[in-house]
Structure 1
Amino acid sequence: MKKIKNTLYVFTEDAYLTLDGENVVAKVGNDALGRFPLHTLEGISLFSYAGASPALMGACCERGIRLTFFSPSGRYLADARGACTGNVLLKKAQFRASENERFSLAVARNCILDKVYNSRWVLERAIRDHGLRMDVDAMRAASARLFDSVEVVRECDSLDSLRGIEGDAAQVYYSVFDQMILRNKDDFHFAGRSRRPPRDRVNAMLSLFYSALARDCASALLGVGLDPSVGFMHVDRPGRDSLALDCMEELRPIFVDRFVLTVINNRVVSADDFDIRETGEVRLTDDARKKLFKAWQDRKRETLMHPFVKEKIPRGLVPNVQAQLLAKFLRGDLDAYPPFLWK
């Protein structure tokens, strides 16, 4: 079983990363901010416009270390990827499947079924644990509608219909998301998703960690020899990891949404951890991002029981296991893609 290593997050806006022997060195000008052995890392996320040296990018590609570039505000920019690897027959099977709507629907339907299922259980868990502190009637009504959506997804017969069902279910889910924010409601009120740019503190965290989850899914897909850019539900576009976006759908509620709710309700973050720009964009401060990514990394090390493989694994390996299961389905070793049903 693959083991989780560390992910290095660099938030200094003018930091430049270089290679020195078997170490990555973060510098500002001629001053070294830190030195980190490559063999301890599984990924590097750089929130800086300064970038990284070609030597470091090459070393990361050779060692399978995911090097991802973000803007200082947290917007995804690019990845450093090496030569194409993996079984060419698996990639050809993936490409054929992506052009076959019936096959694409079989994968996408399970991803969205799982997303709706997991979204419902986020609501049900909140009702069970904190029912006295929220509008239970509204929560139960939303849960019932999501339950009905699961059945509709099962019967869906086209990708366009599936996208519509997923959009409607997301609206239902987000309509009661604010109910699950139990502390600091004035500072962390949620009125709905706003993306580019995020317009409130909750959306700033959701957007940032959805991006982090998408990068984890893309890395997992590359690791099993699949192309993250060729998806089944999300339309292929240059520069977009459509398959990673497909695969992250089922994990968003239980990995990102519950994480964001936890750091708010446990007062890990406060209003002072955010900057509000003149444009209306809300952005986490550098110190707040460091704090939250440490908590994110700690969360990835927690173990859970995988419902399909029936083994306890770290949370952070769930994208890797799901990528392996998808590859098995594409090879014909499984009759269907097994979604990650959380409860």
Structure 2
Amino acid sequence: MQTAYLDHPGMRVALENGTIVLRAPDGLRLGTLPSKNLERLILQGDILCSTGAIRHLLEQGSSILCLSPRRSHAVAHLQGGLHANAQIRLQQYRGYHDTVFRVRLAKRIVFAKLQAQQRHIEEWLRRERIRRRALVQAQEACTQSLDSLASAASIDAVMGIEGRTAHAYFQALFTQVPPAVSSEVRSRRPPRDPINVLLSLGYTLAHHEAVTAAYALGLDPYIGFLHEIAVGRESLGCDLTEFLRQLVDTFVVLWWTHRSRPKTGQF
């Protein structure tokens, strides 16, 4: 399955004789999209997409994610072929109102996240020879958090443990990228440096995948277990994204350190 990412201002996406065609603002044909093998279409900025193209992609099982022009913030998520079994969602709602079940599931989510962070830190420690202090501190924070998690009895306590570890973890992550492209502090809205831009974009795309998976399974992406319900927030999507964050972190670190680096002016 493939992903198409379109961000050229004024680009047009239309359905012509059963084919998804891309055109420049002046009408020049730029190419086509393989809709049968397209898993997701990501549109950022001022892209003109016809309703015919949208309908065709959704019927083919593709998902569509629309991002804001500058901050890569998700503003719309389109998904076709939604699950028709409402009993699944009713069971999800029962689980949300069961405090014991919800806390147990929230602890499992954070436990998996902390373990993944710990594995990353241990790997970074093996190859880092200079900036080790932040890594050692993050390792200790993860160990303490994993120990504390067992006795956590509420969602607030679980979230507090996760939050306390996050700062130390990002301090460790920033030791793995050049100081020139990182402020060594996690910044979000807006991200203030290239590394934070890449992390935010990666987490946004991971969240899209999580929401798509929730819809496909017949779950309500707005009803989470670790993350509280909030207007406009797909809380279950946030829960599921926790399992994907370390994949994003790995990609950002490896891509920046081992491949051709983009120019900082591009951010």
Length-normalised TM-score, structure 1? 0.72
Q: 2:253: which partner in 1?
A: 261
> In structure 2, what residue type is equivalent to 1:204?
V
Of 120, 138, 158, 1:162 maps to 158
- Cα shift readout 1:277-298 (whole Å, capped 9, x = no counterpart): xxxxxx3xxxxxxxxxxxxxxx
Whole-angstrom CA distance in 2 between matches of 1:196 and 1:135? 27
Which one of 9, 14, 18 corresponds to residue 18 of structure 1? 14
Q: What stretches of structure 2 of length at least 5 have no aligned partner?
A: none
Q: Are positions 1:179 and 2:180 aligned together?
A: no
In the alignment, the residues of structure 2 paired with residue 186 and residue 131 of structure 1 have an alpha-carbon distance, to the nearest angstrom, of 15
Say if 1:45 and 1:70, in contact at 8 Å, map to a contact too. Answer: yes
- In 1, distance between residues paired with 2:265 and 2:102? 40
Letter in 1 for 2:156: D
Taking a change above 3 Å as real, the CA distance of residues 138 and 71 of structure 1, as seen in their structure-2 partners, is closer
| Structure 2: distance between partners of 1:172 and 1:91 | 36
**Cα distance, 1:273 vs structure 2:** 4.5
Could you tell me how far apart the structure 1 residues matched to 2:265 and 2:204 are?
18
State percent identity of aligned pairs.
26
Q: Where does residue 251 of structure 1 map in the other structure?
A: 244
| Aligned mates of 2:157, 2:253 — CA distance in 1 | 30
> Hey, what's the Cα distance between the residues in 2 that align with 1:8 and 1:189?
28
Letter of the aligned partner of 1:200 in structure 2? Answer: D
Distance 1:89 1:170 in 2: 36
Tell me, yes or no, if the aligned pair for 2:61 and 2:81 is still in contact at 8 Å: no
Indicate if the aligned counterparts of 2:82 and 2:215 stay in contact, CA closer than 8 A: no
Counterparts in 2 of 1:101 and 1:18: CA distance versus 1, 3 Å? farther
Q: What's the offset of the Cα at 1:267?
A: 4.1
Deviations 1:214-238 (A, max 9, x none): 1111112222221222211222233
Pick closer, same or farther for the CA change 1:237–1:273 going to 2, 3 Å: same
The alignment partner of 2:185 has SS state of: coil
Aligned to 1:140: 136
Corresponding residue for residue 338 of structure 1: none
Deviations 1:135-175 (A, max 9, x none): 33442232122012112122211001111111101011112
Give the letter aligned to residue 95 of structure 1.
Y
CA distance in 2, matches of 1:51, 1:105: 44
Structure 1: segments with no counterpart, 5+ residues: 276-282, 284-343
- Map of 1:118 onto structure 2: 116
Alpha-carbon distance, 1:250 to partner: 2.5
Q: Does 1:33 align with 2:26?
A: no
What is the rounded CA distance, in whole Å, between the counterparts of 1:239 and 1:65 in structure 2?
A: 23
Please say which of residues 39-48 and 188-197 is displaced more in the overlay.
188-197
Alignment of 1:1-343 (within 5 A): 5-29=1-25, 30-73=27-70, 74-82=72-80, 84-128=82-126, 130-132=127-129, 134-181=130-177, 185-253=178-246, 255-270=247-262, 272-275=263-266, 283=267
Computed over aligned residues only, the root mean square deviation of the Cα atoms, in angstroms, reads 1.8
Distance, in Å, in 2 between the alignment partners of 1:155 and 1:250 is 22
Shift of 1:103: 1.9
The number of equivalent residue pairs is 265
Distance verdict in 2 for CA 1:141–1:16, change over 3 Å:
same
User: If the length of structure 2 is used for normalisation, what is the TM-score?
Assistant: 0.92
1:15-55 CA distances to partner (integer Å, 9 max, x unpaired)? 22222243222223322222112101111001122342122
- Which residue pairs with 1:297 in the alignment? none
Asked if the contact 2:194–2:264 (Cα under 8 Å) also holds between the matched residues in 1, the reply is no
> Is the Cα contact below 8 Å between 2:83 and 2:218 reproduced in 1?
yes
Structure 1 CA distance for aligned equivalents of residues 151 and 8 of structure 2: 49
* Letter in structure 1 aligned against 2:194: R
Instruction: Say whether the 8 Å CA contact 1:26–1:33 is kept in structure 2.
Output: yes
